[in-house]
Structure 1
């Protein structure tokens, strides 16, 4: 159980750092190009607001939005797995593969690599389904 909890905690930290990196990526492009869509941000550096976001910033925002559709589900399912104590090796495997797939998805999204982005997305979804199945079995077992 402690091994699973440790792996889950490390996966959460990796996913946090990955999402933070997306924010830094957006900030890097805005600052390096001195291009800001919000008037108060542009005015802070003595510029006029840009009518639209930089393409890199928009792309990163899409990656962020996709993360918000998947990563919170991992947090919940992973925590529930800790409650129901499913097979450790399978749980750890699904958690690690999910995390690696989400990192790969972001890299592929930003680099515009298809079909790798879709493959990474699908792998992560399969992992979520596996975690959901283990939670379901654990819940039924404890009825």
Structure 2
């Protein structure tokens, strides 16, 4: 275990995994920000800032900006969690540091580009390409994990 903790690959993985997890966590307050600034809530109790029942009913709405940020957050959950799990397994296979850094940096970069493309509604294929790059990176690490495990 001490060898793992002193491994440059493992420390790099911990750094990049923490970056994307924090980015993913930031999406929740960003969704809340959009809900408050657009006055678009999902739950009756969230509209309590207004005492007027008619105004509260109007706040129970979907808003395209809120939904865009929410979908971006869901996409993070669908992609970052597998990266963290597979990335940890990948780090345990003992890859070269330069190869591991390439995987980790490409994935993190792809997620930041994906988020900017999604939240700012940049034209396609920016969002789609950034998603594909991240997915290919995760599959590449998974391939290494599987091929290493098969040859043990």
TM-score exceeds 0.5: yes
TM-score (norm 1): 0.89
**TM-score scaled by length of structure 2:** 0.84
Moved over 4 A (4+): none
User: Gaps (5+ residues) in structure 1?
Assistant: none
Q: Does 1:19 align with 2:24?
A: yes
Q: Distance in 2 between matches of 1:126 and 1:33?
A: 36
Are residues 86 and 140 of structure 1, via their aligned partners in 2, closer, same or farther at CA, if it must alter by over 3 Å?
Answer: farther
Are residues 1:139 and 2:149 paired?
yes
TM-aligned CA deviation for residue 112 of structure 1:
1.4
CA apart distance, 1:141: 2.5
State the aligned residue count.
141
Find out whether 1:37 has 2:39 as its counterpart.
Answer: no
Q: Mean Cα displacement is larger for which, 75-84 or 33-42?
A: 33-42
Deviation at 1:54, TM superposition (A): 2.1
Structure 2 portions without partners, runs of 5+: none
Render the CA deviation track for 1:79-126: whole Å, top value 9, x for unaligned: 101222122221221111101101110110111121111110111011
Alignment correspondent of 1:105 = 114
- Contact 1:29-1:56 within 8 A present in 2 as well: yes
Taking the aligned partners of 1:5 and 1:105, their CA distance within structure 2 comes to 25
Q: Is the 8 A contact 1:85 1:138 kept in 2?
A: no
